[in-house]
A and B are shown apart, each in its own frame.
Chain A
Amino acid sequence: MSIEVKDLSFRYGKIVALDGVTMRLGEGAVGLLGPNGAGKSTLLRILLGFLVPERGEGTVLDYDIRRDQAMIRRSVGYMPESDCFIAGMDAVTFTSYFGELSGMPRQEAMKRAHEVLFYVGLGEARYRLLDTYSAGMKQRLKLAQALVHDPKILFLDEPTSNLDPTGRAEILELIRDISVHKSIQVLLSSHILDDIESLCETVVILNKGRLAAEGRMADLRAIHYSLYELRIKGDGSAFRKDLESAGSRVEEMEDGLIKIYMPEGADRMDLFRAAARTGVQMRYFVKSRTSLEDLFAGVVGVD
């Protein structure tokens, strides 16, 4: 388990930011979700070793969050949400500077800076002044400084904000590579559910300082074993009648999506048989799962 916390609590004056959060996070990318003010930033601050919790204890990479804060910050990389850079520097200087501050010897930091800059795609531009960088490049730079000291955990805060669709796809690809192939634990905080869905296996949802949900996405998003979603091409009414006569309930959504509730113990291939019988093409077929959005709404309890 790389992150284990028990009963974490913290208050800013009268405001309760975290109230008894307990969780254990291990392999795989973790998504951190929650409405604004839910305590995500406070949790991140404690995990990153900035804040000492009022109550509760925990370890990050086996370092105690109260006593070994400096050690935690050595082994953790943080990619902040807001823009941050230092004017008058080029990417190599910038990256190796922060590598040195993380505790790397000077020559090693320089060497790593070059490697990491190539990895994030800034190889060609690494001698240029940061002032000339575009938004997408600045984002990659932030990722580079988070990786230069080879952290075991990477905290990413809204990594795709302000990026255009191409930039977004590229950063997501990088993060996916880091998470899947490079055995670095990724903790991603984001409001863009699609990013979380495509990158994370585990999800932590905070609400009002408490843990509202925690677990593998596959487990949390209840799979309805007898509810299927389809799109077809062909004579929908005949298909529908066929299915209803076999005991299924059919619902048609306004955008053409068809939801089918099959009776208990039914064989899903019956749907295909019905399609063959009525001359209809099956173009989209999935077992219905709660969308991450619905999970979020259900768990946070508003609406």
Chain B
Amino acid sequence: MTAVISASHLSKWYGNVLGLNDISLELEEGITGLLGPNGAGKSTFMKLVTGQMKPAIGTVAIRGRRVWNDPEIFQGIGFCPEQDVFYEDMTGSEFLAGLLRFYGFPKKEIDDRAARALDVVDLTADKDRLIRGYSRGMRQRIKFAQAIAHDPGILILDEPLSGLDPLGKRKLIKLIKGFKDEGRTVIVSSHVLPEIEALTSQIVLIHQGQILAQGDIPYIRELIEAHPHQISVRSSDPRALAARFVGDRSIQKMTFAADGQTLVVETHKRDEFFGRLTGIVLEGGIEVDEISSPDDNLQAVFEYLVGK
């Protein structure tokens, strides 16, 4: 599969300040989550991919074509920035139509596309109101509308869900997933990690200008050896359960949670643990309420990799 977006030794500085340091990666179709602490380089990366800045060293290319100074590429990219800046005195539809003109569409097509984009983000009712009068959520949606109006194959979204209420988020998540199903490529950046998890399991973690991790979340978790897996078992008799596991060398640590019902186990050998768990539970006649892995999520991966 040819990479849709590829970067090779991509670096960028702002004077002395480091933006990105020697980034090389390849992103395939589908949704990729981009995350990292503040100042890690996410916005820099997005600006380089969307051609707003020129790399200091290295290249970034879309389907093999270098992005910088190639206006034709912009036809195929939709960018939804984080900042909330608009032409306040335009109406929603004027705004969209105005931006669409840059792409060189004929007038009739502009109107069609704008109407469709407005419909997709549910702003048809408010299209003739001034953006100045839009609520936070509406502004976010019109931003998204301008990113999709020209039907790009690649969407780059910076904090697309901020400012939306839970239903708005749900709708937008569904929309983005719909794009993925249509074969488009989406890069989403967000600080709210559960929201990235709702969208995708492929991530790129940037820290201090470099890529700290790339790939499938569970797979990355697996690879973090420094932190054994946590498994939490809530049952009728956690101590009996603990007693049966205590001799097991694959277990690193056992903790009883404050609720008195939960046993939290840390182990590097999950397979062994789970393999024995069912048998032990049935042998001991223990009633199990819940089994879960508290640190098998993006927040934990983030914390382990970025550290405190």
Contacts and interface: CB of A to CB of B under 8 A. Distances in A.
- The answer to A–B direct touch (Cβ < 8 A) is yes
A160 B190 CA distance: 13
B167 A296 contact: yes
Interface string B261-289: 00000000011001101110110000111
Contact of B170 (A34, A281, A293): A293
B299 A302 contact: no
Interface stretch (A48-56, A70-78, A187-195): A187-195
Chain B binding surface, main DSSP class: helix
A272 interface: yes
B37 A166 contact: yes
B193 interface: yes
Interface in A28-66: 33-37
Interface residues on A, range: 35 or more
Contacts, number: 108
B165 A285 contact: no
A3 interface: no
B129 interface: no
B270 to A, nearest CB: 8
Contacts of B293: 283-284
Interface stretch (B5-13, B14-22, B245-253, B300-308): B300-308
B165 A282 contact: no
Given A33-B166, A36-B137, A166 B290 contact: no
Interface residues of B, number: 43
A283 B279 contact: no
A168 B291 CA distance: 26
A40 to B, nearest CB: 10
Given A166-B37, A194-B194, A286 B290 contact: yes
B255 interface: no
B274 A281 contact: yes
A179 to B, nearest CB: 15
B248 to A, nearest CB: 15
5 contacts: A35-B168, A162-B191, A165-B299, A166-B306, A303-B171
Interface of B: 35-38, 135-137, 162-171, 191-195, 270-271, 274-275, 277-279, 281-282, 287-293, 299, 302-303, 306, 308
Given A36-B135, A282-B277, 13 more contacts: A34-B165, A165-B35, A166-B302, A169-B303, A191-B169, A192-B192, A233-B271, A268-B287, A281-B278, A284-B291, A296-B167, A297-B166, A297-B170
